[in-house]
């Protein structure tokens, strides 16, 4: 911890509702700490009317946003995303210069987080990276994540395997901590809604069978996002007595194509489907209590959903490379494969194999572990990194 009486300034950068949901308890702990001062930069989807202006959720939770960095363009083409990254870097440069944080906290692998990491590197501000060492082979985020790891100085991994991957990338083992997944803390510590309260909150009555669906663009696939999502919709129409709760994708390349298809499908199937730009953390986790399975390709299906011992139908390669427990059913982005995977999730065979297992992402406690490091880890000379050579240290 700092030897003087000044608080260590911790700046959290967040660009999406899902990322903020994971960071919420950590941000609250930082805010309440007598040793730390919380700074918040909201960017990207948080500031977009198209994606729900979710910065308002941050403010409703009692946080003060220190800086809002506009970054998203109206285009989700590769050129548009690249330009958004440039705008993010420009805005982050100004924000970091004014706030002068001691540590910047970045979670995950999105393009705006990569841009923030690059700006912090130039500004010579230490970076604490959450969820490094993971792999998502079907998305360009894979490269962003590993690049952020190489720019970071403190690392909070979700599993021992991910911690070892960070070491393999040449990072100092003394700066790498296996803390488990933040999402597990949320499940265990947040008060979730009753079934009736959840139905009222989404203005939708659950049915005999229910599925929660989040499908993001698979940015490195040879098959278009439009084709893949249409195959998913075809598969859903093959199901009987089933209701669907959709959440919209993040702002990735081709996300707007999925959003338009989704809106059209829900408009034509209001008796069995509803869609939300953002459920928010409480409603999302509450939904996991009452649905039969989660369908799509979101990381939440790999990390948080298994805690509820519910099935995840993981479509395509977006999450390929992540550590997966027995509740994950992988399938190709093709209607018959998706339909069969969903049907299998209802079988006794599947249910029996998933009742007892150790969650590879831990059983909570990530927030307290991260807090200890943020308070106690020395920062002098942390910017000067030496490559940790495995051969030389075996």
87 vs 44, 83, 104, 107, 122, CA distance in Å? 10, 6, 19, 19, 16
Q: Answer whether 390's CB lies under 8 Å from 168's CB.
A: yes
Q: Mean per-residue pLDDT for 127-144? A: 87
187 vs 130, 196, 288, CA distance in Å? 18, 19, 10
Q: Answer whether 111's CB lies under 8 Å from 81's CB.
A: yes
pLDDT at 308: 92
pLDDT at 141: 81
Give 1's pLDDT tier (boundaries 50, 70, 90).
Answer: very low
The pairing of beta strand 67-69 with beta strand 36-43:
parallel
Give the whole-angstrom CA distance, residue 156 versus residue 88: 24
Q: Answer whether 182's CB lies under 8 Å from 25's CB.
A: yes
Q: Answer whether 114's CB lies under 8 Å from 90's CB.
A: no
pLDDT at 148: 97
**pTM for the predicted model, two decimal places:** 0.85
* pLDDT greater than 80 at residue 367: yes
DSSP for 30-48, written as a single string: HHH-SSEEEEEEEEGGGG-
Could you give the maximum distance between any two Cα atoms of the chain, in Å? 65
Q: Mean per-residue pLDDT for 14-36? A: 95
Q: What is the pLDDT of residues 181-224, one digit of tens each?
A: 999 999 998 899 999 999 999 999 999 999 999 999 876 666 78
Q: Look-up: residue for tokens 């079907």?
A: 138
380 backbone φψ class: left, alpha, beta (φ>0; ψ -120 to 50): beta
Percentage of residues of the chain with pLDDT beyond 70: 96
pLDDT at 3: 43
Give the whole-angstrom CA distance, residue 105 versus residue 186: 18
Give the whole-angstrom CA distance, residue 185 versus residue 188: 5
pLDDT at 2: 46
* pLDDT greater than 70 at residue 138: no
Q: Mean per-residue pLDDT for 267-279? A: 94
Helices (H), the chain: 17-32, 55-60, 78-99, 111-122, 141-151, 160-168, 182-189, 195-202, 225-237, 255-268, 280-290, 300-303, 335-345, 348-353, 366-376, 390-393
Q: Look-up: residue for tokens 């959450």?
A: 130
Give the whole-angstrom CA distance, residue 70 versus residue 353: 47
Give the whole-angstrom CA distance, residue 66 versus residue 193: 31
pLDDT at 24: 95
Mean pLDDT of the chain: 92
């Amino acid at each position: 911890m700092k030897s003087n009486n000044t608080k260590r300034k911790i700046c959290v950068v967040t660009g999406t509702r899902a990322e903020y949901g994971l960071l919420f308890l950590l941000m609250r702990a930082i805010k309440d700490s007598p040793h730390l001062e919380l700074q918040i930069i909201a960017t990207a989807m948080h500031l977009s009317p198209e994606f729900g202006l979710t910065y308002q959720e941050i403010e409703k939770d009692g946080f003060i946003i220190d800086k809002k960095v506009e970054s998203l363009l109206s285009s989700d083409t590769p050129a548009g995303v690249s330009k958004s990254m440039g705008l993010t870097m420009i805005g982050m440069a100004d924000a970091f210069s004014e706030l002068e944080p001691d540590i910047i906290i970045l979670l995950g692998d999105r393009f705006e987080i990569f841009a923030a990491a690059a700006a912090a590197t130039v500004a010579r501000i230490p970076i604490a990276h959450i969820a490094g060492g993971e792999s998502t082979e079907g998305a360009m985020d894979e490269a962003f994540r590993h690049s952020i790891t190489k720019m970071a100085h403190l690392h909070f991994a979700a599993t021992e395997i991910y911690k070892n991957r960070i070491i393999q990338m040449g990072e100092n083992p003394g700066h790498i901590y296996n803390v488990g997944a933040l999402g597990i803390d949320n499940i265990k510590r947040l008060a979730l809604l009753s079934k009736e309260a959840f139905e009222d909150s989404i203005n939708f009555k659950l049915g005999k069978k229910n599925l929660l669906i989040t499908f993001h663009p698979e940015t490195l696939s040879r098959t278009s996002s439009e084709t893949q999502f249409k195959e998913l919709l075809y598969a859903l129409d093959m199901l009987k007595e089933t209701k669907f709760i959709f959440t919209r994708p993040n702002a990735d390349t081709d996300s707007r194509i999925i959003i338009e298809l989704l809106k059209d499908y829900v408009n034509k199937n209001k008796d069995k489907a509803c869609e939300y730009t953002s459920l928010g953390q409480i409603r999302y986790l509450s939904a996991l209590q009452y649905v039969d399975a989660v369908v799509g390709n979101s990381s939440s299906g790999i990390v948080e959903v298994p805690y509820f011992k519910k099935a995840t139908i993981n479509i395509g390669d977006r999450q390929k490379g992540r550590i997966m427990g027995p509740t994950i059913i992988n399938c190709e982005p093709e209607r018959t494969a998706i339909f069969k995977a969903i049907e299998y999730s209802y079988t006794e065979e599947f249910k029996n194999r998933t009742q007892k297992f150790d969650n590879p992402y831990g059983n909570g406690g990530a927030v307290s572990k991260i807090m200890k490091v943020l308070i106690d880890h020395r920062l002098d000379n942390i910017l000067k990194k030496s490559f940790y050579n495995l051969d030389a240290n075996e």
